[in-house]
Amino acid sequence: MPHTASTARLPRAVVVSALAAPARPSPALVRFIATLLLLIAAMLVAPRAFAATRVVFDIDLRDEIAAGRFDPARDMVGVRGGAAPLSWSRSLIAPAAGLGRDGWYSVTATFERMPPGGTVPYKFRIERPGQGEGDAGWETGGNRAIELVTDEVRVTRAFNAPGAPISLSRAGTIERLEPLPERFVGERGVQVWLPPNYERDTQRRYPVLYLHDGQNVFDAAAAGAEWQVDETAQRLTVDGQIQPMIIVAVNNTARRIDEYTATAMSRDGHTQGGRAAAYARYLIEQLKPAIDARYRTLPDAGHTAVGGSSLGGIMSLWLAVHHGEVFGTALVVSPSLWWDDQFPIRDTRKTPLPMSQARPKLWLDMGTGEGAEAIRQLRQLRAVLQARGWASADIGYLEAQGATHDEASWAARVEPMLRFVDKQFNARPGNANTTQQDPFPTGVRPPMPGPGTYTN
């Protein structure tokens, strides 16, 4: 039996004495209390979890000057990125570094807040009078990234040079699939996050969420920023706040604009877009059958969702409206509703919907920092859906205060997105997820989010 303190067997005199005169605390107790008070004092004066980080960008333009691609008398160079004080829409201009450093330009950015994952995507851009926005002036290749790991970080490299490698940040089990043969669209990478206990609970089948722009879904190593979907899904699943699901991250390609848009439009002097139907065939006729064959899925529309942001947002909307028999739920995140004179809104208004088919459930959101026109268009889309018979309960709607058009803002909204998807999955009858059962019936709970595993 465990030992418990009791006065039942003490002599009466001892009991009376103990009640009448409190005993002097032991030296060990005094030391414990003193240590505890010191710890509390240290916590009260401790610095905040994230101190501002200064990042110094030293940009070497000597090769660009020698090749005639940069004129110091006319051009400027700046930094753009995905977290304040950087922005993708405006350059932080770097002045010339000074005497003795011809061809070098330097600027400092101070980051007051830690972005999701601790990384910031960025690129250098040459700014030239009359250049405008578009593809001109940018470095070649993908985004570079900075890890905010110390109070001061220095980035020193030539224009167009690759950035420093970024460490992987993954939670749970993520499998990378071999690219499927090219049929409808070009080959691309696919990563699959498996929920905790997937290997143990071999009788269970799972709903599936497909996400576009897969490079940004699980870690920042590929694109410089991430949504932290794996960390968030792992935490919510382990805590029992959502039921387990499989998450499929589908990478984009160099033809992202074409594949994520249903119509073509003239942009920056050339025509882009119009390959959404081909990309949809890839998802529906190639990828989904492969996922359903390889994993224990619930393949019906009620347990299949799709999601994405920006152009990926309007692609998800298009899939839900045109292929609701496959995708019963869609996450329409910061959608580019401006595309082709607001085609996504016009298309949603006029596309015939099968009378026998349930309306797909739609999550709609936009950050107020994306502009008043973007908010107006999102409200217009919601009004169109309601006029076409969508019930308020079938639409998740969020105007995120201060949020902008970047991965950091979208990562901050992943939890409510996953809760919305989980709610729709669990509203459908005929599967293991309709009851709020313990997702770990064996009593074995996996660890909280950590480095995770990454398998080929």
Give strand ranges (E) for 11-134. Answer: 53-60, 76-81, 92-94, 104-111, 119-127
Q: What share of the chain in percent tops pLDDT 90?
A: 56
Q: How far apart are CA 385 and CA 401, in angstroms?
A: 23
| Confidence label for 110 from pLDDT (cuts 50, 70 and 90) | very high
- Give the mean model confidence (pLDDT) for residues 324-337: 98
Between 429 and 130, residue with greater pLDDT: 130
pLDDT, residue 115, reads 73
DSSP string over 54-71 = EEEEEEE-HHHHHTTS--
- Cβ neighbours around 50 below 10 Å, total: 13
| Confidence label for 133 from pLDDT (cuts 50, 70 and 90) | confident
* R_g over Cα of the chain: 28
Paired tokens of 6: 């009791």
- Cβ neighbours around 169 below 10 Å, total: 22
pLDDT, residue 354, reads 84
For residue range 187-220, what is the model confidence (pLDDT) as tens digits?
Answer: 999 999 999 989 888 999 999 999 999 988 887 6
Q: Which part of the chain has CATH 2.60.40.10? A: 53-158
Question: Exposed, middle or buried: residue 89 (CB in 10 Å: 0-12, 13-18, 19+)?
Answer: exposed
| Confidence label for 221 from pLDDT (cuts 50, 70 and 90) | low
- Give the mean model confidence (pLDDT) for residues 293-318: 97
For residue range 53-80, what is the model confidence (pLDDT) as tens digits?
Answer: 899 999 999 999 999 999 999 999 999 9
Between 242 and 22, residue with greater pLDDT: 242
- Give the mean model confidence (pLDDT) for residues 27-50: 57
Q: What is the mean pLDDT of the chain?
A: 83
Place of tokens 């890890």: 147
pLDDT, residue 48, reads 43
Q: Is the pLDDT of residue 11 over 50?
A: no
Torsion-angle region of residue 341: left (phi > 0), alpha (psi -120 to 50) or beta?
Answer: left
| Confidence label for 169 from pLDDT (cuts 50, 70 and 90) | low
| Confidence label for 40 from pLDDT (cuts 50, 70 and 90) | low
Paired tokens of 382: 């919601």
Between 147 and 318, residue with greater pLDDT: 318
DSSP string over 227-267 = --HHHHHHHHHHTTSS---EEEEE---TTHHHHT-SSEEEE
Tell me if the domain spanning 53-158 has CATH number 2.120.10.30: no
pLDDT, residue 18, reads 36
pLDDT, residue 447, reads 36
Q: How far apart are CA 104 and CA 158, in angstroms?
A: 9
Half-sphere exposure at residue 207, Cβ-oriented, CA atoms within 13 angstroms: 30
| Confidence label for 286 from pLDDT (cuts 50, 70 and 90) | very high
Backbone angles phi, psi at 264, to 5 degrees: -95, 150
- Give the mean model confidence (pLDDT) for residues 269-297: 95
Looking at 80-84, 248-252, 342-346, which range is the least confident one? 80-84
Q: How far apart are CA 136 and CA 75, in angstroms?
A: 13
pLDDT, residue 148, reads 81
Angle between helices 229-238 and 414-426 (to 10 degrees): 50
Tell me the β-bridge partners of 146: 120
Tell me the β-bridge partners of 453: 173
Paired tokens of 334: 């910061």
| Confidence label for 30 from pLDDT (cuts 50, 70 and 90) | low
Q: Which part of the chain has CATH 3.40.50.1820? A: 173-426
Q: Is the pLDDT of residue 437 over 70?
A: no
Q: How far is CA 257 from CA 213, 254, 262, in A?
A: 11, 8, 10
- Give the mean model confidence (pLDDT) for residues 103-131: 87
Question: Exposed, middle or buried: residue 422 (CB in 10 Å: 0-12, 13-18, 19+)?
Answer: buried
Paired tokens of 118: 């601790």
Q: Is the pLDDT of residue 296 over 80?
A: yes
pLDDT, residue 120, reads 84
Give strand ranges (E) for 96-220. Answer: 104-111, 119-127, 144-147, 152-158, 173-177, 190-194, 208-211
pLDDT, residue 91, reads 94
Question: Exposed, middle or buried: residue 110 (CB in 10 Å: 0-12, 13-18, 19+)?
Answer: exposed
Written as one letter, the residue type at 320 is: A
CB-based contact 195:291 (threshold 8 Å): no
Paired tokens of 279: 């990309």
CA angle 239, 228, 134 (to 5 degrees): 155
Span 173-426 CATH architecture? 3-Layer(aba) Sandwich (3.40)
pLDDT, residue 37, reads 64
Looking at 74-88, 163-177, 206-220, which range is the least confident one? 163-177
Q: Are strands 173-177 and 190-194 parallel, antiparallel or unpaired?
A: antiparallel
